[in-house]
A and B are shown apart, each in its own frame.
Chain A
Amino acid sequence: MRNILTSSLTQLHKHIQNRTVSVSEICHVFLDRIAEVDERVRAFINVDSDAVLKRATEIDAKLQKKDFQAGRFTGIPIALKDVIVTRGQNTTCGSKILEGYIPPYDATVVERLKTEGAIILGKTNCDEFAMGSSTENSAFFVTRNPWDLERVPGGSSGGSAACVAAFEAPVALGTDTGGSIRQPAAFCGIVGLKPTYGRVSRYGLVAFASSLDQIGPLAHSVEDAASMLSLLSGPDPRDSTCLELDSIDFTANLNGDISDLRIGIARDWIDSVRDPDIRGALEKATSILEESGLTVEDVEFPSQDLSIATYYLVATAEASANLARYDGVRFGHRSKPTTNLESMYRKTRSEGFGPEVKRRIMLGTFSLSSGYYDAYYKQASKVRRLIREDFITAFKQVDVILGPVTPTPAFKVGEKTNDPLEMYLSDVFTVSANLAGLPGLSLPAAFTEKGLPVGLQLLASHCEEEKLLRVAHFLENELAVGKPSLPIE
C-alpha cells in the first residue's frame, strides 16, 4: 500500500472515483502509518481513529451507489493544525489553557472540507497559539523533523509539515502569521502556501495576530497545494476581512506558459545567506529561469532591515489583545481556588500560558501601553507601510519574486530555545509577506549533503496566486528534486 501513501491528491481522487480503492482502505493506510511512525515524529496531538473510520465507511456506502459522483475531496484524509476549531473535537492551540476544550462550531475551512466529503484525520501539534518557529513551544511535546529526528520540523505549523513529510497524511492545513507555513515546509521538504491576506476565511482560526494570520495548505506538490487553495478560498460573511473574490480552480493553468512573466531576484536576501546549500539552490533556480528566456532582474527592499522589529511589535500587540479572552470564565483552564475575580484572571493566565506566550503578551502590552505606544506600536505600523511600499514598487517591475525561505536548513532541537531573539531572527525572510499581505510559497529546492531539505520562496503581488503557482509548478518540474526514500521507516 506504499503507493497509496505517496499518492497525489489527484491520484487518490482517481482511486476513489473509479472505486479501485475504498476510502476505508485509504484511511487504514494512513492510520497504520501514523501508528508506525508517529511515536517518533510526534506530529499529532490527537487522532480519532474510530471517527475517521466511521466517516470512511459512510462515504464508502455512498460510493456503492453507481450514480454517486465523488468530488475532488470526497474521502480524502486531511490533517489540521490544532489552532483551527472543529465542532465536537478537541482544539488545544498547543496550550494548557485550552486543554480539553471542545469547540461548539466548525471553522469555515472545516465546514468547506466536510461539505466536500474530506475526512479530518487528526489535529497536529504546533507552537502554543502559533507563537514560535520550531514547534518546541507546544505545551505538550516537541515534534521532530522526519528527515532527522534530532532536528526541529520548523514552526509554528511543525506538526502539519512533519505529518505530510512523513507520509502520515496526504495533505494538511497550517496557518502562517510570520512564516509558519513556509518555514516548516522548507525544513521538511514539502510545499507550503500562504495565500493573500483575506483570500481564505479566518472564521474559526483561533486568533494570534488578526491582521497577519492566514490559513493555507502544506502538501507534497504545487498541484496539491493549488487544489487545496481552490477549496479553501472564497468570501465568507462571517469574516469581514475575507476578500469578495470568488474562488477559482487554481490547478487549471499550472502548465500555462510563463514566458510573459517577469521574475525578480531578492538579491540582498540571497547575499545575506551564509549557508552554501541554500545559496546554491537559489543560484540554480535563478539560472533555470534565465535559461528559459524569462526576464530576470534584481529587486530591492530598502526597509527589509526593519522587518523583524516591525513584525514582532505588530504581532505581539495584536496577540496581547486577542489573548485577553483567556480569562477562565467561558472556556478552558480556570485556576482553583480563587478568592476574587481579579486573582482568578491572573492565576488562570499565569498557570495556563507557557513562557513564550507570556513573553509576547508582555511585549505587546508594553508596546501598546501609555507612554510607549507612539515609539513602538505606532512607529512599527508606519514602518509596516514602508515595507509594503517596497513590494508595491517591486511588483511594478516584476510578477514573481524569488528568494530564500530561511537563513539555514532545520536546526537542532534545543539549539535556540534559550535565546528568544535568535529564534525571532530566523523568520527574517518570511515576515515581510505577512506585513504586506502578499501570497508566498515555499518550494523544495534541494537536499544538503546531510540529507536535510532546502526550500526556496516565491512571492507575488496581492491576489496573484495564479501566477505564483504557475512559476512554482514550472520550477518544481525543472528542479526535479527527487526524494531519496521515505524520510522515516
Chain B
Amino acid sequence: MAYLYNQRWQILLEFFEQKRMTRSIQENWLKQYDSIEEVFAKLPQSQFEKFPLISSDEKGKIRVITLLDPDYPKLLKQIDNPPVFLYLLGNNLSYNEDLTLSIIGSRHPTPYGEKVTNLIVDYFSHPDITIISGMAIGIDSIAQKKALSNNLNSIAVLGSGPDVCYPKSELRLYQNLIEKGSIISEYPPGTEPKRYHFPMRNRIISGLAKQLIVTEAGRKSGTMLTAQAALEQGRDVYAIPGSIFMKESQGCHQLINDGAKIIMNLEEMSQISHEIINSLNNHELLIINLINQFRPDFDYLQKLTRLTASAILVTLGKLESLDLIKQKNGNYYLTTKGFHCIK
C-alpha cells in the first residue's frame, strides 16, 4: 500500500480519536512498537478504507500512450521534442483539442491573481472546453479546482510519476482529477519529483494547449519558462497585466513586452474562445450572417429565414445572451465575438 506519508498520521490520529484515547494512553500504546511500520500494521484495516488513495489497484489503471498511438494528442506531436511515452491516469484523452486552454501562474499568487484566475475559468465555462495546468500550489491548482467545480474537463501534467501526488497538499484535487479529469506524466510510475523534471514538464503543458494564459508570474520563475516554451512552440500566449509595483506581475509585463497578447478586459477573451461556434445551429449562423450583411429589420429577417416570429425572437435572444450580437439604436450589430463566428 502506497499511502502517502502525511496521510498516515492523519489515519493514526483518527484512530486515536475513535478509541477516545487520552494523551498518556496514546503514548503507552505507541511505545509497544519498535518502528512506525509496525504501528501501521497493527491499525485495523477499516481505518484505511476511508482514504482510498493510491492503492496498488490504482497503479494498474495507469495507461501508457506512445507517440505512435492514434489517441496521442496531435498538438503535442507538433512540438520539437515530444515525449515518447505518456503515462495516463484517469479518463482517456478524448477531448476537443481546439478548445484547450492552459492557465498557469505563480505559486504564491496575490488575491488579485486568484480572482482573475477564477474569473477566467468562469468565463470559459462551456462543457467542451478543457483546462490544462500543472497542479502546482497557487494559480495552477486554483484554476483546476475551479474547472472541476464548473464541471469542465481538466488535465494535470505532473513532474513526477502519475501515481505520485506532488505537491502533497493538493491531494483532494489529485483524487478529483483522477475521477473527473486526467493526469499525465512522461515519467514512469513511482518516479519521485526532481527539480530538473519541471522545466521538461512545462513544455508538455504548453504543448497540449492551443492557448496559454499567464495570470501572474514573477520575473524569474518556472512560469516564465513555460511561457517561453509556448512562444517557441508557436502557441498563443496571453498575459494579464497588473500593477508595476507588484513583483508578482513583473513576469507578465515582461511577456507582454516580448510579444504576448495582453488581456485588458474579460470581453477580449472572446478572441481566445472558439467554443461558441460549435454550439450554434444553422439558423443561428444564418441569422448572424444576415445581420452582418444587411442589418435587416424584423420583417425582412422573417421573410429571409422563413421562421416564425417567435422562433426568430428565440434565436436573437440566444445570440444576444451569448454576446454574439448586441442590440443598439434599434438595430442588431455583431460583437467582436460574433465576427469570429463568420467563417
Q: Do A and B bind each other?
A: no
A interface vs B, CB < 8 Å?
Answer: none
